[in-house]
Structure 1
């Protein structure tokens, strides 16, 4: 597995860490590595919950801009494949806790939104969807994840007007569930995952999947045509 994504089993909890040494961009290599980490967790009967964490100060800056600007087909392929990874996380039968370790922008915030619980940190960090300010339409999968997570009054503010939030406001509108000090983040996320792991399976997993099925089915039915309609990659 690539070092940009590492995997550690801590009892019943698997901790998946993202760290590319920079902005934690979601590249093709990231997609492959994250998929392998999820495979590993699902195949290990001892694992009952996951934590997905970023590097200190950076959860993820979203899709890799080098790929996004390299051409329309490469951009669409990256966004499509990244969206499928997010949908996989969203419907994973295991509980997933996101340790949002700093800035979470665009696709990075959407990945965080796929967690069953989302813990952020206090500090001078930005979380938001910046697509419209960058002259990009927001894909269906993105605004449907926002619709699923946000206070309805904040939906257009966040998606249409591309509002960037500090941690406290991200908590207020619904992108996050709670905040902790940076040094307490991983312990808090693991504790949260251990608590969720005590909920009975398969009841938890089946209920989670049925609860989210309308969103998942809509995204998967529309993603190809939606992305094809966008001018992406230059």
Structure 2
């Protein structure tokens, strides 16, 4: 998986995927590829997934050096890879729990929202789709995820005003299902993932997930196609 992403398969049927680039877990093409490879391994192992970050941060989103680096092809490749990974997580055949030790910004937030179950910590942290605050627009693929996961009013607010949510507000809006103390995050998240791994019928879970999410997956794929067409 490379030195940015760790993979550990437990006896409880849970594969822990840890993003840690030593900084803010920027979702470069390399990082996205490493996370994707870890999901490939988890699928091969038939494991549920616990996706997490480094202390204080889940992910700060796309690498802005690439977005602003003057190479449209490189930026497109990164953005496309990000939303293709989100699609992969939303449709992953086994349960996916995301444990956010801190900030989830832009593509980091969209990746978080793609997980089945999401836990954050009661510590200073930001959950935000900040594109319109930094000179970008929110792509259709991201809007599809926001509309699917957040309450209707907060999906609009998050996208249009780049609203910044603390952990408690993020739970109310729909970013998170639960907020725990930082020291409790690893055990709580692993407990959720292990319970899902052992308590759910694998085929029933897979088939129901795809049926329940058919519309948002279609919207997400259309949004990816729109990104490619706009830059071709």
Structure 1 gap ranges (5+): none
How many angstroms does 1:226 deviate by? 3.4
Q: Could you say what secondary structure the match of 1:14 adopts?
A: strand
Q: Which stretches of structure 1, 4 residues or longer, exceed 3 Å deviation after superposition?
A: 226-230
Q: 1:169 to 1:227 in 2, by over 3 A?
A: farther
In structure 2, the residue matched to 1:165 is 165
CA contact (8 A) 2:150 2:174 kept: yes
CA contact (8 A) 1:139 1:227 kept: no
Q: Aligned pair 1:97/2:97, yes or no?
A: yes
Q: How does 1:179-194 map to 2 (within 5 A)?
A: 179-194=179-194
How many angstroms does 1:224 deviate by? 2.8
Query: How many aligned residue pairs are there?
Result: 228
Q: Aligned pair 1:207/2:184, yes or no?
A: no
CA distance in 1, matches of 2:79, 2:149: 20
Q: How does 1:1-234 map to 2 (within 5 A)?
A: 1-11=1-11, 12-45=13-46, 47=47, 49-70=48-69, 71-197=71-197, 198-226=199-227, 228-229=229-230
CA distance in 2, matches of 1:89, 1:194: 17
How many angstroms does 1:227 deviate by? 5.1
Output one character per residue of 1:79-103: Cα deviation in whole Å (capped at 9) or x when no partner: 0111101100110010000001101
CA contact (8 A) 2:141 2:222 kept: no
Q: Could you say what secondary structure the match of 1:7 adopts?
A: strand
CA distance in 1, matches of 2:54, 2:182: 11
How many angstroms does 1:225 deviate by? 2.5
Structure 2 gap ranges (5+): none
| TM-score for both structures, normalised by structure 2 | 0.95
